[in-house]
Every structure is written in structure tokens, then in C-alpha cells.
């Protein structure tokens, strides 16, 4: 696949840079209140959450620790393989820590369920999740995230960290990918 102009592959913009910025600021304010007096370990799920994560961390106005984890479930397909694999673990121990998992998007909910269970087994004091996007019709309510940026319909989106086959991550907005690009 050779992509010369990623903008051409976008059907329409779902969330502009401005809309994302405003929502991330609101989430940051809420997290600042929730973690008042604490020092949460804020965990980025690589690579999709990277832009959301760095923007969000700067909006949390209390001391935090940053750590990174990488899992793979998608490969090159626009459909989940259903198998979640740990590619890179956290650097630090989270026992007795307040952990906040930062994810780009929930689709089937498998990734978040896997991570929540795996990290919970390490006995953190608390564990919460924040996802920028929630395909709320694609998963059961049991796998719901504690906080979210936006609900979206069941459609394939890219940009602001989200990829298709590792492309489109650096688009500054979130857009719906044209169907012919992945079908």
C-alpha cells in the first residue's frame, strides 16, 4: 500500500482539533478533581493513545507518573483478531498505586478487559480507565470505561493517534476512513 496524501482517504472529519482539545481539557479537569492529593500512575496504551495521552497528561494538574504498555490485537485488519498479546509491559511496579489506563478507542472491549484484568492482578490501590472514543454499540455494558471523550457509531476512524495499517496516525483530527481504503 502506498499512500501519498492521507487527507484524500478521509470521508469526513468526525472531531476537529478544536473539539478534541476542548474535550481533553474537560477530562483533565475531572481527573484533576478525582486524583486530588494522589499521585496516579497514568498508563498509555501504545501506539494509538499516544497523542491523547500526552495532551491529557498536560491537563491533569496534580503530580503523576507516566508509564507505557503495548498490546496488539488488530494486525493490519480493520477487524479485531480477538486475540490480545502483550508486546511491551510497564516499566514500574503498580502495587498499591492508583492506576489510570488511557486508551484511544473501545470497540469489542477485549483490549480493555484484558488490560484491566492483567493490571488488577498486580494489586494496585485503584484502577480506572479513560478512553477518548467509545464505539458504545460494539461491546457489552460490562466492559464500559469509567470515563470517555466521545461516543461514536460503529465506523472505522483514523487520526490523532488512531491508525489503519499504521498509517494516518499523524492527522491532527479524527476522521472516518473511506470504505474503499480498507475493504
Contact positions toward Mg ion, by CB under 5 A? Answer: 48
d(CA 149, CA 99): 18
**Of the residues 9, 55, 104, 107, which is catalytic?**
107
Segment interacting with ligand IMP, rule: CB under 6 A, options 8-16, 18-26, 59-67, 97-105: 97-105
**Cβ closer to ligand IMP: 22 or 83?**
83
Residues contacting residue 54 through CB under 8 Å, at least 6 positions apart: none
Q: In angstroms, what is the minimal distance from the CB of 165 to Mg ion?
A: 10
Q: Which range in 9-17, 22-30, 55-63, 158-166 contacts ligand IMP by CB under 6 A? A: 158-166
Element (H, E) at 31: helix 17-34
Query: In the block, which residue shows the cell 486530588?
Result: 36
Provide the 10 A C-beta neighbour count for residue 22.
Answer: 12
Residue selected from 162, 169, 175, 181 as contacting ligand IMP according to rule CB under 6 A: 162
Task: Judge whether 107 counts as a catalytic residue.
Answer: yes
Residue 1's CB is within 10 A of a number of other CB atoms, namely 8
Which residues are at the interface with ligand IMP (CB under 6 A)? 48, 73-74, 80, 103-111, 156-158, 162-163
Amino acid at each position: 500500500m502506498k499512500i501519498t496524501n492521507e487527507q484524500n482517504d478521509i470521508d469526513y472529519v468526525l472531531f476537529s482539533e478544536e473539539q478534541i482539545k476542548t474535550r481533553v481539557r474537560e477530562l483533565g479537569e475531572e481527573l484533576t478533581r478525582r486524583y486530588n492529593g494522589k499521585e496516579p500512575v497514568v498508563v498509555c496504551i501504545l501506539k494509538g493513545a499516544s497523542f491523547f495521552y500526552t495532551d491529557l497528561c498536560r491537563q491533569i494538574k496534580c503530580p503523576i507518573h507516566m508509564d507505557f504498555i503495548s498490546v496488539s490485537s488488530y494486525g493490519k485488519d480493520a477487524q479485531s483478531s480477538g486475540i490480545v498479546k502483550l508486546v511491551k509491559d510497564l516499566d514500574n511496579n503498580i502495587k498499591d498505586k492508583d492506576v489510570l489506563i488511557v486508551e484511544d478507542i473501545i470497540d469489542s472491549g477485549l483490549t480493555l478487559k484484558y488490560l484491566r484484568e492483567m493490571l488488577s492482578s498486580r494489586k494496585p490501590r485503584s484502577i480506572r480507565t479513560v478512553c477518548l472514543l467509545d464505539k458504545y454499540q460494539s461491546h457489552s455494558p460490562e466492559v464500559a470505561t469509567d470515563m470517555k471523550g466521545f461516543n461514536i457509531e460503529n465506523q472505522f476512524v483514523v487520526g490523532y493517534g488512531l491508525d489503519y495499517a499504521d498509517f494516518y496516525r499523524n492527522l491532527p483530527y479524527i476522521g472516518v476512513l473511506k470504505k474503499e481504503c480498507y475493504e
